[in-house]
Amino acid sequence: MLIKLTGGTVYDPAHRVNGRVHNLYIQDGRIVDPPAGAHVDIEYDLHGMVVMAGAIDMHTHIGGGKVNIARTMLPEDHRADPVTHTEHLRSGCGHAAPSTLTTGYRYAEMGFTAAFEPAVLPVNARQAHMEMGDIPILDKGGYVMLGSDDFLLRMMHDGADQKAINDYVAWTLNASQCIGIKVVNPGGISAFKFNQRALDLDEEHTYYGVTPRQVLKVLATAVNELAVPHPLHVHGCNLGVPGNMETTLKTIGGIEGLPIHLTHIQFHSYGTEGDFKFSSGAAQIAEAINANRNVTVDVGQILFGQTVTASGDNMRQHANAGHAHPHKWVCMDIECDAGCGVVPFRYRDKNFVNALQWAIGLEIFLLVEDPWRVFLTTDHPNGAPFTSYPHLIRLLMDRSFRNEQLSRLHPEAQKMTTLASIEREYSLYEIAIMTRAAAAELVGLSDRGHLGAGAAADITVYVPDDDREKMFSRPRYVFKDGQLVVRDGQVVNVVWGTTHVVKPEYDPAIEKQLASYFDRYQTMKLDNFIIQADEISEDGRGSVTIHPCWGGRGV
Amino acid sequence: MANMNEQGVWEHVPSPFCGIGSDDLKIRVSGSRVEVLEHGDAVTKAAFEHPLGETQPLVDGKPASLEQAVARAAGIVAEAELPLLAGLATDVAGMRAALSLADHIGAVVDNMNSTAAMRNILVLQDSGWMTTTLAEVKNRADLFVAVGVDVEALFPRFFERHIWVDGMFVEAADRRIVYIGKGPSGYAAVSPDGRKPRVLLCEEEDLPAVVSMLRLLVNDRPVGVDSVGGIPITELKSLAKQLKGANYGVVAWAAGAMDWNHAELTVQSICEMVKDLNHTTRCSGLPLGGREGDQTANQVCGWQTGYPVRTRFSRGIPEYDPYLNASERLLGSREVDALLWLSAYNCANTPPDTDLPTVVLGRSGMTFDQTPQVYIPVGVPGIDHAGHTYRLDNVVAVRLFKLRDSGLPSSAQVLQLIEQSVRYG
């Protein structure tokens, strides 16, 4: 079947197309060159409409144990946002910790066609994939967490060479069916199990004697040498701690040019100036990002209201548990692998710290010059639920709206931010870069995030509106792999996406070492730990798509 | 993955029955006969070796084809005003199919172990907790405290696999075991070098007071009595000191063993005490459950609806209520008018007594006091078909494997057929 999208105004940064009117053709789920004389089966008249590739959320907590703890903990939050069963759609709940089915519907209804879970514990990867397997429409994938697992820390303590660590990293990616490597509070989740309550970049783990800087170095090197496209995904030390911008700057400076992605950088950009000993480090952080082309970031913008924070960083979550709202929280130590912490939280615009966090995130968005290296996230649900993206896009694209919002915040916070003076407004082209072209490149998806011939036909069509929040809330059409799934902001057809993975090669000798470690210290056999592809595909809906390790931004 | 090393002999077989996900079993399969050769225990061996019973469905007690049984089952649940899908002892795929059916027909879902599981879930939803998993226990726990539970009776291999081994950070010889309330029924908690566990016995009804007192003592609060529930305060004081002095204490309880009104408050006391201990040292809770698919039911229901089981779909949205949606109450008050009971692991878990129209999807060989309208024998996850189940620590999903070819459908397959029949006739 041949589908023609006629006359839309196309924003396709991967091909430097910035608002040019041209037609697109879809055949068998792919974008194709204009076929000479072929019969068009369905034509959509898109004159006056904006056409982009489907959006990609490169960091969103949508599946896995901590997300399900958050769901189970928050019946009162779900009750305010029930989702009704229809002919096409399953019932569920929305807001801070939405059900999997609702997650897929609501992302699609905003024009998103892929989302990546950034904190997959190797031992919990099976659950993460099962949950993501129940997220309709979207493609998905995961970044698997290393850095507080005892196997790696033992290797480092014993002076294992980089090649052996590379083998372990590659094996982990294969065994967990993931597409990238994440490190959370490097070594710190393990240190917390030994009753350490903080671990700065150059502080030694009390048992292993290893520092976070060393963990970052070996993992970033491994990812680079394995030519995994997605750079090491770093949730740094000292999340949320006033003054942590110094740690973040040292992290950038200390990585020696290796590619790294610093996630939810907003939470790591705090100074200690002012009466409240809490200030914005956004200018210095943005300057460092601008100066270091090996670094990408996503922001982790906070927006006001109730949400829940769910993180692998149980050291920091435990430290912040007193702020839980409502007052309940969970911390777990997990399988000599990692941990998790779930703390519900309400961001308030009249609270000085929260108001300044809001401003810091926006400052970073606006001060980082290259939209190919800064990504639109709220670290869902940690900064805000993903459903607030259209609002966030409006804040970036509309200075008067932004300043009007700023004027409502805690007055002391307004004094501590330069936001009001920043004139920049994001263009549609820049939004298309950060949410499409650059996101696909960052994750390592060559056939997504763009509209060239051969790309998957994941396409979103918007009706332009000066109110960008309205425009991005309700696409006219969304196509997933060439199938119309959303019309006028409503899901009309449910399809199932694929799971994107990489499979870097490794020396199988590492499995011998792992097998004896598993037999001695773990609670399952190595072969039962490994996730087979058929576990993802056997329900008849899921599939695994393997991407080549071509090196990405590697040096 | 479980592999067949010689004809009919499987190694590294995971158990869906033991709650701790032991996956070192060696099992021989000859025809439909299953024999645990190595690492079986009282729970696991009996459950694996239960002989395959009749595989043909019964309608009104008479043999019928699967199609006939499915059509009758679909008729019963479709005609009901408010059907109840209960038991729900199955694997992840079975639970997915049950929720899909429930959403379509507007049913209530509940699990056979919910009364116990809710003692934990209510605490999670009210104040939260700090918990740990089995590998952390194995490698770190230098103090293990069992509150109100005879651990080995429920989990025969718990000590062998997680306590009496040398972990990465603690040797078996340096581990200490304490029981509060109930004592152990056997010798599993005795260390290899002959040390017996310390046991602070009390009556079940005194356990809430004993736990509260222990929490007070952990927080150095003044107390004005000499004993509680017959346990001298000095004993509890020394246990409080032991907990504060441990590098990594683990406090375990089994909600299933706490069968009194508002036992969730005692669970909450334990969990808040664990949080208090973490002001200065490390300590974690360990809720012991995870049998007969209870964690599986709540996990899948959690991600597909946002809520645990005891959720109803009758108004087109999931509505969770841990009291109103309890199957015992719904059956007793006759608010539901049909029952679909699912018990894929255990023949002994038959449906509750009711005169409502009843459909049973059960492990083959199930017998009934009261003939249900429909009985469809289904395969056991991990014996008759592949699948996934959750361990008691709720983090580790265990891959289960097909060991024999019994021809039995999985619970997911039967539920999907029922849903198709309801939708398309």
Return per-residue pLDDT of chain B as tens, 425 residues. Answer: 677 778 899 999 999 999 999 999 999 999 999 999 999 999 999 999 999 999 999 999 999 999 999 999 999 999 999 999 999 999 999 999 999 999 999 999 999 999 999 999 999 999 999 999 999 999 999 999 999 999 999 999 999 999 999 999 999 999 999 999 999 999 999 999 999 999 999 999 999 999 999 999 999 999 999 999 999 999 999 999 999 999 999 999 999 999 999 999 999 999 999 999 999 999 999 999 877 889 999 999 999 999 999 999 999 999 999 999 999 999 999 999 999 999 999 999 999 999 999 999 999 999 999 999 999 999 999 999 999 999 999 889 999 999 999 999 999 999 999 999 999 98
pLDDT in the model for residue B292: 80
pLDDT in the model for residue A551: 62
Q: Which residue is associated with the tokens 């960008």?
A: A468
CA angle at residue B97 from B92 to B98, to 5 degrees?
Answer: 95
Ordered DSSP codes for A425-487: ---HHHHHIIIIIHHHHHHT-TTSSS-STTSB--EEEE---SSHHHHHHS-SEEEETTEEEEE
In a domain, B311, yes or no: yes
Using a 10 angstrom Cβ sphere, with 0-12 exposed, 13-18 middle and 19 or more buried, the burial of residue B220 is exposed
B283 and B144 co-located in one domain: yes
Closest CA to A260 of A288, A282, A302, A300: A288
Q: How many residues does chain B have?
A: 425
Please list every residue in chain A whose beta carbon sits closer than 8 Å to the beta carbon of residue B135: 123, 335-337, 521-523
Asked if A82 lies within 8 A of B317 by C-beta distance, the reply is yes
Q: Which residue is associated with the tokens 């998806």?
A: A445
Please list every residue in chain B whose beta carbon sits closer than 8 Å to the beta carbon of residue A195: 247, 281-282
Closest CA to B214 of B239, B178, B250: B239
- Given phi > 0 = left and psi -120 to 50 = alpha, else beta, which region is A162? alpha
Adjacent-strand bridge partners of B129: A330
Cβ neighbour number for residue A424 with a 10 Å cutoff: 13
Closest CA to A367 of A434, A268, A283: A283
Name the strand (E) or helix (H) holding B312: strand B311-312
Tokens for A443, please give them: 């994750």
Peptide bond into B352 cis (omega under 30): no
pLDDT in the model for residue A555: 36
**Residues whose CB is less than 8 angstroms from the CB of residue B268 and which lie 6 or more positions away in sequence, other chains included:** B123, B126, B127
What is the Cα–Cα distance from A96 to A380, expressed in whole angstroms?
A: 8
In a domain, B306, yes or no: yes
Please list every residue in chain A whose beta carbon sits closer than 8 Å to the beta carbon of residue B3: 527
Peptide bond into B357 cis (omega under 30): no
**Do the beta carbons of residue A54 and residue A111 sit within 8 Å?**
yes
Query: Which DSSP letter does residue A545 get?
Result: E
CA distances (Å), A349 to each of A355, A387, A398, A406, in order?
Answer: 5, 19, 19, 9
Asked if B302 lies within 8 A of A65 by C-beta distance, the reply is no
B296 and B283 co-located in one domain: no
Closest CA to A217 of A246, A241, A250: A250
Query: Domain end: B238, B260, B287, which one?
Result: B287
Helix segments in A183-273, DSSP class H: 188-193, 212-225, 245-254
Closest CA to B174 of B200, B140, B151: B140
Helix B264-277 vs helix B114-126: crossing angle, to nearest 10 = 40
What is the Cα–Cα distance from B305 to B325, expressed in whole angstroms?
A: 15
B147 and B275 co-located in one domain: yes
Ordered DSSP codes for B48-105: HHSPP---S-EETTEE--HHHHHHHHHHHHHH-SSEEEEEEE--HHHHHHHHHHHHHH
What is the Cα–Cα distance from B374 to B285, expressed in whole angstroms?
A: 42
Amino acid B145 reads V
Asked if B131 lies within 8 A of A335 by C-beta distance, the reply is no
Adjacent-strand bridge partners of B375: B58, B360
Please tell me whether the interface predicted TM-score (ipTM) of this complex is above 0.95: yes
Cross-sheet strand order for the sheet of A30-32: A30-32, A24-27, A2-6, A42-45
Tokens for B185, please give them: 């029924």
Tokens for A302, please give them: 């906070």
Q: CB-CB: which of A84, A91, A124 is closest to B395?
A: A124
Q: CB-CB: which of B128, B284, B397 is closest to A329?
A: B128
Query: Domain end: B287, B302, B336, which one?
Result: B287
B160 and B212 co-located in one domain: yes
**Residues whose CB is less than 8 angstroms from the CB of residue B286 and which lie 6 or more positions away in sequence, other chains included:** B131, B132, B137, B250, B251, B252, B253, B393
- Domain extents in chain A: 52-491
Asked if B395 lies within 8 A of A65 by C-beta distance, the reply is yes
Amino acid B239 reads L
Distance of CA A68 to the CA centre of its chain: 17
Radius of gyration for chain B, computed over Cα atoms and rounded to the nearest angstrom: 23
Using a 10 angstrom Cβ sphere, with 0-12 exposed, 13-18 middle and 19 or more buried, the burial of residue B145 is buried
Cβ neighbour number for residue B60 with a 10 Å cutoff: 11
Taking the Cβ of residue B324 and every Cβ of chain A, the question of whether any pair is shorter than 8 Å is answered with no
Distance of CA A550 to the CA centre of its chain: 21
In a domain, B165, yes or no: yes
Cβ neighbour number for residue A60 with a 10 Å cutoff: 26
Taking the Cβ of residue B317 and every Cβ of chain A, the question of whether any pair is shorter than 8 Å is answered with yes
B391 and B406 co-located in one domain: yes
**Do the beta carbons of residue A150 and residue B139 sit within 8 Å?**
yes
**Do the beta carbons of residue A62 and residue A128 sit within 8 Å?**
no
Q: Which residue is associated with the tokens 């878990």?
A: B349
Tokens for B379, please give them: 């395969």
Q: Which residue is associated with the tokens 């879970």?
A: A117
Please list every residue in chain A whose beta carbon sits closer than 8 Å to the beta carbon of residue B104: 85
In a domain, B197, yes or no: yes
**Do the beta carbons of residue B405 and residue B52 sit within 8 Å?**
no
What is the Cα–Cα distance from A327 to A346, expressed in whole angstroms?
A: 11
B93 and B233 co-located in one domain: no
**Residues whose CB is less than 8 angstroms from the CB of residue A352 and which lie 6 or more positions away in sequence, other chains included:** A276, A278, A410, A412, A413
Please list every residue in chain B whose beta carbon sits closer than 8 Å to the beta carbon of residue A527: 1, 3, 12
Task: Indicate which of A523, A534, A535, A538 best probes the interface with B, i.e. most B CBs within 10 Å of its own CB.
Answer: A523
Residues of chain A with pLDDT under 50: 553-555
In a domain, B121, yes or no: no
Q: Which residue is associated with the tokens 């949730």?
A: A235
**Domain containing residue B392:** 55-113+292-424
**Do the beta carbons of residue A240 and residue A274 sit within 8 Å?**
no
B150 and B234 co-located in one domain: yes
Closest CA to B342 of B418, B233, B257, B241: B418
CA distances (Å), A76 to each of A307, B304, B307, B320, B326, in order?
Answer: 12, 17, 10, 10, 19
B270 and B381 co-located in one domain: no
Closest CA to A181 of A135, A134, A215: A215
B229 and B318 co-located in one domain: no
Average pLDDT score over chain A: 97
Handedness of CA A446, A452, A458, A460 (dihedral sign): positive
**Residues whose CB is less than 8 angstroms from the CB of residue A513 and which lie 6 or more positions away in sequence, other chains included:** none
In a domain, B119, yes or no: no
Please list every residue in chain A whose beta carbon sits closer than 8 Å to the beta carbon of residue B138: 521, 523
In a domain, B310, yes or no: yes
**Residues whose CB is less than 8 angstroms from the CB of residue A88 and which lie 6 or more positions away in sequence, other chains included:** A491, A492, A493, A494
Interchain CB contacts (distance < 8 Å): A and B: 193
Taking the Cβ of residue B329 and every Cβ of chain A, the question of whether any pair is shorter than 8 Å is answered with no
CATH number at residue B353: 3.40.50.740
**Residues whose CB is less than 8 angstroms from the CB of residue B87 and which lie 6 or more positions away in sequence, other chains included:** B111, B112, B341, B342, B343, B349, B351
SS3 state at B250: strand
In a domain, B317, yes or no: yes
B226 and B299 co-located in one domain: no
Please list every residue in chain B whose beta carbon sits closer than 8 Å to the beta carbon of residue A85: 103-104, 313, 316-317
Nearest CA in chain A to B268: A328
Nearest CA in chain A to B282: A195
Q: How many domains does chain B have?
A: 3
Query: Which DSSP letter does residue B112 get?
Result: T
What is the Cα–Cα distance from A452 to A469, expressed in whole angstroms?
A: 27
CA distances (Å), A428 to each of A17, A393, A466, A498, in order?
Answer: 11, 10, 12, 28
SS3 state at A97: coil
What is the Cα–Cα distance from B287 to A21, expressed in whole angstroms?
A: 61
**Do the beta carbons of residue B338 and residue B85 sit within 8 Å?**
no
CATH number at residue B167: 3.40.228.10
Tokens for A5, please give them: 């999208």
Taking the Cβ of residue A539 and every Cβ of chain B, the question of whether any pair is shorter than 8 Å is answered with yes
What is the Cα–Cα distance from B35 to B44, expressed in whole angstroms?
A: 11
What is the Cα–Cα distance from A253 to A244, expressed in whole angstroms?
A: 14
Asked if B93 lies within 8 A of A527 by C-beta distance, the reply is no
Asked if A85 lies within 8 A of B131 by C-beta distance, the reply is no
> pTM of this prediction?
0.98
B21 and B89 co-located in one domain: no
Asked if B307 lies within 8 A of A71 by C-beta distance, the reply is yes
B279 and B299 co-located in one domain: no
